[in-house]
Amino acid sequence: MVVSVVSKVSKVLVGFPRGVGGGKLICMSQANTKLSRIFQQMADVLEVLGANRFKVIAFQKASRVLGELTEDVAGMDGKTLRAVDGIGKGMADRIEAFVKTGELTEAAELLAEVPSGVIDMLGVPGLGPKTVSLLWREAGLSDLDELTKALDTGELEVLPGFGKKKIENIRKNLAFAKEAGKRARIGKAMPLALWFIDQLKGLKQVKRIDFAGSLRRGKETIGDVDLLVEAKAEDAGAIMEAFVGLEPVADVIAQGKTKSSIRTGESPGTSGGGGIFGGGMQVDLRVVPAESYGAALMYFTGSKEHNVRLRERAILMGMKLNEWGLTKQNSDKVVAGESEEDVFKALGLAWVPPELREDRGEVALAEKDELPTLIELSDIRAELHTHTTASDGMWTIEQLATAAADRGFHTVAITDHSKGQVQANGLSDERLEKHIAAIRRVAEKLNGKIVVLAGSEVDILADGRLDYPDSLLKELDVVVASPHAALSQEPAKCTARFLKAMENPYVTIMGHPTGRLIRRREGLSPDMGALFKVAAERGIAMEINANHWRLDLRDTHARAAIAAGVKLAINTDAHGPADLGQLQYGVLTARRAGVTKNDAVNCMTKAALAKWLKSTRQ
């Protein structure tokens, strides 16, 4: 049994194919990402097996460190590895062995101790390692099918803690996981698309290349990646050959003259942001001529509803619109097609940004040339939600502040976790007081380079109280009040909980209000209208958490917030250097909501932001 699992795990988790043009076995940061996944899975399995808690924590910490580390461990020697905070001798030895052989036999042997279906159960929201261990060891369930059947027979009710409510929650979470599993998070799809574009754009036959579909519209989850290339018909074959021959292509679903589809495997590639993607996504590539490129880009960007609206408009104007262009109905004379701008103009419309193409009134606004000037990534000048090594972050106060300054920000708030977040090393009252003093020292040192604010991400407790007393909160410049526990409360109860928290005179920002994790946890469903009403009255901001696991507020909530006169704060919730790059996902979400730079506090000037921060304290 061990031999077969070792073989399987070597292929799925720890095998490294060669790069596109051959070369090194392990590319930059591949080892970091693969090992991060392996160590986290080992931690989960150890917890299922009831292993020593400190051993579990060691693997969890190593996973987090490697996931955030910007240096490539493949280029580090043992001494350098052991000097990395969170990587001890044992982990350093494992890393060195993996880099040398491309395998980690210990991981395969550990996974062999539990059925593969038990590991699948860990992917269901709400099923942590302890619960999965109970289902496996006490109920004898070894996969999701057995779990599904057991939910209906009533046999789980004999297990400790398995009341009817918990069983019903597991049933709902199973259904949620199956539905969510059909799509990928934007944080996985975007690096994948950019990597393919980077590989193909250098081909001499490629004149233009873009990604389209729901990814171009900035949706939080993506079904598959659509790529569009402009090229001559006689060059399409060479482009298709190059496309299907790229890593990480695992399967060629279809290969034609103008369209090909592939599915990625576990072979990772790098994006412009240094991100690493895993496998399992479908990528479609279409080649179109120059005269149709704009019309095709519009068509394959969608949405379906937006496209229908445009086609109806074209018909009313005596034309017809499809992926080949805008033509006269009777003569088939081409009116426009080479660029999107040409097509929109011929339809009597202003160009509509892709993020707004959801048939939510954007065509009517385009007709009157009243579309909002959407927020741009470059408009963000401040970061107001970050974490350091004081809690669960991977960088010091000064490292974080310097990185923010290097991005051109004029202000950064240090907001480490409050004491209720024990697993995140939340700060006690005494530690927070010392932390504030440390932040003030860094602020003084970096004075003139960037404004460094003392803050905290303070837990909203189940009853609506905040995790620190007002005597401490008043010492802070920024208070991000966020839910981290009791994330299955009924809507009425969580609404009352949040409204009570918002009464606190020191709250600056309501952080990731639903507490959801995309494709992992559904989160809370408070009465957003009620929250926005109070936020507008109090003058506090609602957060769009830019982390691609959260994107909370979601686009529809953000749209309602600005309609209610609420200011938004687009923050990365950064725990390490790589997280600052996730700001793009928060901005895309904001653009889908029609947000302008005037709607986001992060776009304010230094003076205006300081004035707003002061105004939130009552």
What CA–CA distance (Å, rounded) separates 476 from 8?
Answer: 52
What's the token pair of residue 599? 């709607």
By percentage, how much of the chain surpasses pLDDT 70?
91
Least confident range of 38-47, 156-165, 251-260, 407-416:
156-165
What CA–CA distance (Å, rounded) separates 342 from 334?
Answer: 11
Classify burial at 422, counting beta carbons within 10 Å of its beta carbon; exposed 0-12, middle 13-18, buried 19 or more: exposed
Task: Transcribe 62-83 into DSSP letters.
Answer: HHHHHHH--S-GGG--HHHHHT
- The boundaries of every CATH 3.30.460.10 domain in the chain are 183-279
Residue where the block lists tokens 């992926």: 323
Please compute the mean of the pLDDT values over residues 320-325 and round it to a whole number. Answer: 96
Quote the CATH superfamily of domain 2-111.
DNA polymerase beta, N-terminal domain-like (1.10.150.110)
Angle formed by the axes of helices 304-316 and 293-301, nearest 10°: 130
Q: Domain 116-180 carries which CATH code?
A: 1.10.150.20
DSSP state of 10: I
pLDDT band at 22 (very low <50, low <70, confident <90, very high): very low
What CA–CA distance (Å, rounded) separates 511 from 490?
Answer: 19
Q: What are phi and psi of 454, to 5 degrees?
A: -90, 120
Contact (CB, 8 A) for 214 and 281: no
- pLDDT tens-digit profile of 267-315? 433 333 333 345 578 899 999 999 999 999 999 999 999 999 999 999 9
pTM: 0.77
- The boundaries of every CATH 1.10.150.20 domain in the chain are 116-180
Span between the terminal Cα atoms of the chain, in Å: 65
- pLDDT tens-digit profile of 109-159? 998 898 888 888 887 877 888 889 989 988 899 888 899 888 888 888 888
What CA–CA distance (Å, rounded) separates 311 from 330?
Answer: 16
pLDDT of 266 above 90: no
What CA–CA distance (Å, rounded) separates 375 from 603?
Answer: 9
What CA–CA distance (Å, rounded) separates 236 from 228?
Answer: 12
Amino acid at position 452, single letter: V
pLDDT of 345 above 50: yes
- The boundaries of every CATH 3.20.20.140 domain in the chain are 377-615
Rg of the chain taking only CA atoms, in angstroms: 26
Give 119-123's long-range contacts (Cβ < 8 A, gap of 24+). 119/41, 119/44, 119/45, 120/144, 121/147, 122/44, 122/48, 123/177, 123/520
Task: Transcribe 336-375 into DSSP letters.
Answer: E-SSHHHHHHHTT-PPPPGGGTTTSSHHHHHHTT------
pLDDT of 526 above 80: yes
Contact (CB, 8 A) for 590 and 375: yes
- pLDDT tens-digit profile of 349-386? 999 999 999 999 999 999 999 999 999 999 999 999 99
Q: Which residue has the higher pLDDT, 597 or 170?
A: 597
What's the token pair of residue 436? 């504030």
Averaged pLDDT score across all residues of the chain: 88
Least confident range of 51-60, 237-246, 299-308, 508-517:
51-60
pLDDT at position 599 is 98
What CA–CA distance (Å, rounded) separates 96 from 93?
Answer: 5
- The boundaries of every CATH 1.10.150.110 domain in the chain are 2-111
- pLDDT tens-digit profile of 172-212? 778 766 665 578 899 999 999 999 999 999 999 999 999 99
Quote the CATH superfamily of domain 377-615.
Metal-dependent hydrolases (3.20.20.140)
Topology adopted by domain 183-279: Beta Polymerase; domain 2 (3.30.460)
pLDDT at position 176 is 66
What CA–CA distance (Å, rounded) separates 363 from 353?
Answer: 11
pLDDT of 15 above 70: no
Other C-beta atoms within 10 Å of 171: how many?
14
Task: Transcribe 247-263 into DSSP letters.
Answer: TTEEEEEEE-SSEEEEE
HSE of 371, CA atoms in CB hemisphere, 13 A:
23
Please compute the mean of the pLDDT values over residues 457-476 and round it to a whole number. Answer: 97
Q: Which residue has the higher pLDDT, 21 or 305?
A: 305
pLDDT band at 428 (very low <50, low <70, confident <90, very high): very high
288 SS3 class: strand
Picking from 359, 354, 356, the residue whose alpha carbon sits closest to that of residue 226 is 354
Q: Write down the architecture of domain 289-371 according to CATH.
A: 2-Layer Sandwich (3.30)
